Copies of this chain bind each other. A is one copy, B any other.
């Protein structure tokens, strides 16, 4: 594997890693409905405000969301719309797993 390929895989992995957390997925789901401030996202996620802020920073650094400071609030929004249909395949994986489990059990 050459260096270019390696770097590309690392870049892809970074994006996936940023998404690979329940709290961050919850944030993305909510942001799919539109721009939200940190306090709104905190209510949904339910963790400490500082924890939510850190999760959002991870999504921002990965390029998944952008932030916009207005007044004393910071509004986050999805930067890449396709992130949404993007999950349909993850669902397929889950569904295939469920079917297999059902087979094993049944």
Which residue numbers of A lie inside 8 Å of B, CB to CB? 1, 5-6, 9-13, 15-17, 19-22, 24-26, 29, 44-46, 62-64, 79-80, 82-83, 85-94, 96-97, 100
Contact = CB atoms under 8 A, between A and B. Distances in A.
Contacts of A11: 94
Given A63-B93, A92-B80, A22 B10 contact: yes
Contacts of A96: 63, 79-80
A74 to B, nearest CB: 18
Contact of A20 (B20, B80, B91, B94): B20
B85 A89 contact: yes
5 contacts: A13-B20, A63-B93, A80-B92, A82-B88, A82-B89
B92 A82 contact: yes
Interface-centre pick from A1, A46, A82 (highest chain B CB count, 10 A): A1
Contacts of A13: 19-22, 24-25
